[in-house]
Amino acid sequence: MTFQRARSPEQRAERRRAILATAAEMLAEQPVAQLTLNELSRRVGLAKSNVLNYFESREAVLLELMNGETAAWLAEFEAALSHVDPSRPAAERAESLARAVAETLAARPMLCELISAQAAVLEHNISTDVALNFKRAAIGHSHRLVAAILAAVPELGEQGAADFVASVALLAGALWTHSRPAPTMLAAYEAAPELAALRVEFAPALRTAADSLLFGLLPR
């Protein structure tokens, strides 16, 4: 793919979309740590200096991609919670909430990969303006999450729902990292079946963790 110079706002917007789409394709093949700006530029058909006219760094590209992925996931999460019967006991509704969190996040590996790299990688090598834009979008996503959670399990209260959101985000990032072991660790698990209990499976582990969080947050 080779682009000519973008002159209009529409052309610039299309160029940004192409860069984001290419980054998403690359993340389907490799982890964040292996995605380079040089390779991204080559695949999108632009010089590296031209890509930097649209995004100030590789991390800025990935943060914007993360915002878009989060918004798409939120729609799926809200749809999953919309089926929760408000007449059911709070404990059952909490189980449905934990299941919705685990299943919808597990269905979006790119988002999980970005969450796992957020604090250590993505929030570095960016300007204050990029950081502000990202965090403002994150606050909007958090408010939307809290509203969806409270609609399903109002017993949590606003603070409890906010605490749940913050904790699940941290757990999802950590569990995703641990559920992607290096090839040598995979070989060790295969060579010694008794070690299988140490291997982390993302969706079941996140559901168990979310269940435990909700048990602690629900009033008793």
Q: Tell whether 11 and 85 lie within a shared domain.
A: no
Q: Tell whether 119 and 199 lie within a shared domain.
A: yes
Q: Tell whether 47 and 64 lie within a shared domain.
A: no
pLDDT class for 11, splitting at 50, 70, 90?
confident
Q: Tell whether 22 and 92 lie within a shared domain.
A: no
Contact predicate 54/12, CB 8 Å: yes
pLDDT class for 196, splitting at 50, 70, 90?
confident
Q: Tell whether 1 and 48 lie within a shared domain.
A: yes
Contact predicate 195/188, CB 8 Å: yes
Q: Tell whether 17 and 71 lie within a shared domain.
A: no
Report field, pTM of the whole predicted structure over 0.95: no
User: Does the structure show a pLDDT above 90 at 139?
Assistant: yes
Q: Tell whether 75 and 180 lie within a shared domain.
A: yes
Residue of 94, 102, 87, 71 whose CA lies nearest to 153: 94
Q: How many domains are there within the chain?
A: 2
Cβ of 196: how many Cβ atoms within 10 Å?
9
Query: Given this model, what pLDDT does residue 179 score?
Result: 96
Q: How far apart are CA 50 and CA 37, in angstroms?
A: 11
Query: Given this model, what pLDDT does residue 97 score?
Result: 98
Each residue of 67-82: pLDDT tens digit? 999 999 999 999 999 9
Average pLDDT over residues 185-210: 94
Query: Given this model, what pLDDT does residue 9 score?
Result: 83
The residue with greater pLDDT, 9 or 93, is 93
Which domain does 33 fall in, by range?
1-55
Average pLDDT taken over every residue of the chain: 94
